[in-house]
Every structure is written in structure tokens, then in C-alpha cells.
Amino acid sequence: MKVLFVVSEVEDLAKTGGLADVAKSLPIALRALGHDVRIVKPYYKEMADKFKLPNITDEQHLVQGDKEYRFNIKRLELETVPVYCIDYPDYFYRAGLYSDGYQPFGDNAERFSFFSLAALQAAKALDFQPDIVHCNDWHTSLCCFLLKQDNSGFFAHTKSLLTVHNGAFQGHYRFADIPALKPYHELAAQIDGHGQLNFLRMGILYADKINAVSPNYGAELLTPLGSHHLYHEFHSRAEDVSGILNGCDYQQWDPSTDPWLPANYNADSLQGKQQCKAALQTEVGLPVNERVPLIGMLCRLTEQKGFGYLLPILNQLLQHNVQLLVIGTGDPVISDVLKYTAEQHPDKFVFRNDFSTRMAHLLEAGSDFFLMPSLFEPCGLNQMYSLAFGTVPIVRAVGGLKDTVLDLQHLPERATGFVFDAPESNALLNCLRRALLFYHEYPKGFVQMQKRGMKTRFTWHDAALNYQALYQDCGRKFGG
């Protein structure tokens, strides 16, 4: 099949989060299955400064209403996958992908509506007629709508798939801020109304198929509580909504070969993990003690990541024989509370308001537990990394966390971690206490759990097979 994979970021080229991981690994895995997959993404400043790419077509002209765009298409290879970059400096040659680091860019509606138009224009310019246009999150969801409005015949047999990586971000803007869509304002206004346009909502309404990045998150999107205020839209498309679990890059996250670690280890010998723990404790200034359980947490400092549950019980947790390390950047209110609490417990709690790849790998290897008490978590990758590193996840039963971590209390012979359900601080505290008790009282059982997790695999090959079936189902249902 021919697949045009339209996305706003790709790992190794431009990245802010997990979307970029998927946008690299999934096309590579699909390509390995024999599909002709081509990525289209913006040519951001960080790419333009690093890769001096030539234009591969004549300059493209795109006229929408009274606005004319002139842009270029550039190309590079990402392993086996061609990547076509939309070069329009007015929109993409700036520091940051979506924001200046603090505030979203004021012209994001225009930037990504143009990008959706330009991605489809690029397919025409390259004479690449896709069977599937695979859109990702709100940034590219308008492609689903635009495909249905195209009257050139070029996309007559093309179907669209919208993957929801995080439905909380929807791209909600005024029509007045989207001149690129001026020819469609009247139609779009009939659909959305009130002078506003919700990009993700338009994708949900017009995509031929919709999927989420884990089965459980797909199910949550069909509920009033888990639909991010788009219940009626998702529910109206219920038969077309599914979930496919993301994979994990086990070449990048393999403790037996990881170059970032001071010592390597595997499921047959965990000695190197203790060396990593000592190195982590030394680096962050915690007492070096292999018998004290170390809980690591690395994430954006946002409400989504469960800080509303964690912050109220931090002092109670730190009354136990435990060490806690939190690394991340984001909400200054959360940061201030973490900083203050750490100052009150210098021998037990360290907070670092930063991020680095090296520390991410060292934290995963050196921690005994990894904490993810998320409010919602579409898929989650860190719990997969933690399992691979023999670091036992402590998670809330939401989204992909529920799909990937098996709780000791419910499945003792297969357990890989500790899971709590209720969105409450006390439920989190009770789960943490269960985990600490198991660590102290059942050390052999804890090692067995570590090894069980290290042998668990969530591969991109399996994910690609599921996407292949979804593409084929899309074609069968709509006569492709």
C-alpha cells in the first residue's frame, strides 16, 4: 500500500514528545512490511540549520481565497523512509515547533492549516497517489477534511486515518485566524459554528477511520469522562474508532548495550543495575544505599502527569524508608512545590528542573521503581522503558498504562508492576505503600518481577501489523 504519513514532528529531525517517536518508528516498521510509506513534515529551523537540503521540485504555488503561498519541497532519508519537508520560512523558520517555550505561537492555526494543504499539494507534485493519508493529532487532522473537498480526482481512491496521540490538544481557533481555509469557511462554520474551528473535531468527523495509541485509550475516548469534551463526536463514529498500542524502540532502550549507562546488565544478571543505582544516587546527591528503594519520575510538569495526586501526599510518602528523584520541566507552580519539599527532605528527595537524554537513561536504570500516576495517558512510553530496564512501574490504570502494566494484587504470577485505579491521592499513597512493602518484605519476588518486566516486549513490528490491518479494513469498508 502507498501511505502518506503526515505529521508535525519526527524523532532525529525535530521533536517535542512521544509523537515524534511514533513518527519515526512506525513508518520504518511499515516499510519493513513492504509498504511504500513517505513522511511529510514541516522544514523547521532546527532542521534547516542542520540539514542544508536542496529543493526537489519547482517552487509550489498554492492559492487559497485571496492568499497565495509559495513554498518548496525538500527531501531526506530517515533510515529506509523518504521524508519530504515543506519549506515555508515565514511559518517554520523560528525557534520552537509550536511555541516560544512558554506561549504557543499566535499563528499556529494558520501554520498548520497551511501545512495540511501543502502536504496534499506535495503528494500531487511528487505524483504520489496514496491509498492512505495517515494524519496525526490536531496539527494534521484537517487533511481528512481537505481530502473530501478536493475535486481534482487525484485523491479519488484515497482514504484517511486519524491517529489520536493526545486528545487533550485539539487546535481550537477562530476562523478569522485561518485565512488559508477561507474557501471553506462557510462549510466549516456550518459544522463547527460560532466563528470557531476545532481542528481535531474536524478530523474526527471527516476521517475514514480513527484510532488511538492504545486499546484502552481508544475505549476511553468513547466515554464522557475520557473523551476530552468530544464525546458526541467520538460516539457518533464509534464503529470507526479503535486503539493500537505503540511499540518501544528496544535498540535505544536496552540496558545490556546502552552507552549512557556506567554499567550494563540484563535479565540474567542485575549486578550492573546496582552500579547504576549507586552512580545515580551519587550524581544527584542522595545517600548511596542499595537497600533503600529509589523511586524515579521523569516527565513534563503538568497536571496530566498526576501531580494533582502526588503533591498532597509527598510528605507522607517521605516518612517511609525511601528515596525519591523527580526530573522535569514545565508548570512553575508544580516546580515550586517540588523544590520546596525537596529542600525539607534533602536526604530523601531530589528535584531537578531540567532534562537530558543521559539523565533519562540513568534514571531509568538506577531507579528501583518508576512513578507514572497520570490523570490520563494515551499510551505512555516510559513505563515500557522502565520494564525493559528492570525498573518496576507504579502507574494509574488509565490509557496505555492499563494495557502494559500488570498489577501484583490482581495477577501475582504475571505481575510486572503496581497499579491503582481511583483518581485520588490516597489511592496513590496506598499503591506506593504496597510497592515499598513488597520491596522490603519480598526481595526475591521483587527480583522476579524485575526480570519478568525485562522479558516483556511491545514491538513496532506488532504495531505495524495492526496498522496494516486497519489500512486494509479502511479500504474494504469504503470500496478501496
| Per-residue pLDDT tens over the stretch 431-475 | 999 999 999 999 999 999 999 999 999 999 999 999 999 999 887
pLDDT computed for residue 440 by the predictor = 96
d(CA 293, CA 45): 43
Question: What are the C-alpha distances in Å from 157 to residues 154, 184, 206?
Answer: 8, 22, 15
Q: What is the DSSP letter of 69?
A: E
pLDDT computed for residue 67 by the predictor = 85
d(CA 103, CA 91): 16
366: Cα within 13 Å, side-chain hemisphere: 30
CB 432 within 8 A of CB 415: no
2-247+460-477 CATH choice from 3.40.50.2000, 3.30.360.10, 3.30.1490.190, 3.40.50.1000 = 3.40.50.2000
pLDDT computed for residue 193 by the predictor = 67
Residue type, position 313, single letter: I
d(CA 239, CA 337): 44
Q: Give the residues of the chain that fall short of pLDDT 50.
A: 480
Going by C-alpha positions, the residue among 285, 246, 241, 181 that lies closest to residue 470 is 241
Q: Which three-class secondary structure state does DSSP give residue 272?
A: helix
pLDDT computed for residue 478 by the predictor = 52
pLDDT computed for residue 182 by the predictor = 84
- 0.85 exceeded by pTM: yes
Can you state the angle between helices 199-206 and 108-125, rounded to 10 degrees? 40
Q: Which three-class secondary structure state does DSSP give residue 73?
A: strand
pLDDT computed for residue 480 by the predictor = 46
What residue spans of 330-411 are helical by DSSP H?
332-344, 357-366, 382-388, 399-404
All 3 cell numbers of residue 245?
Answer: 498500542
Q: For the chain, first and last CA: distance in Å?
A: 11
Q: Are strands 209-212 and 241-243 parallel, antiparallel or unpaired?
A: parallel
Going by C-alpha positions, the residue among 271, 275, 270, 335 that lies closest to residue 302 is 335
Question: What are the C-alpha distances in Å from 435 to residues 37, 303, 377, 392?
Answer: 44, 23, 21, 9
d(CA 182, CA 451): 57
CB 432 within 8 A of CB 323: no
The boundaries of every CATH 3.40.50.2000 domain in the chain are 2-247+460-477, 271-454
CB 32 within 8 A of CB 80: yes
CB 36 within 8 A of CB 69: no
Q: Are strands 36-42 and 60-64 parallel, antiparallel or unpaired?
A: unpaired
- Kindly give, in sequence order, each residue whose CB lies less than 8 Å from that of residue 268, ignoring residues fewer than 6 positions away: none
d(CA 26, CA 32): 10
Going by C-alpha positions, the residue among 50, 93, 57 that lies closest to residue 74 is 57
CB 298 within 8 A of CB 328: yes
> CATH for 271-454?
3.40.50.2000
Q: Which three-class secondary structure state does DSSP give residue 241?
A: strand
Q: Which residues pair with 4 in a beta bridge?
A: 38, 133
50-64 pLDDT, tens digit each: 988 999 999 999 988
Tracing cell 525538500 back to the chain, one arrives at: 74
Residue 135: CB atoms within 10 Å: 29
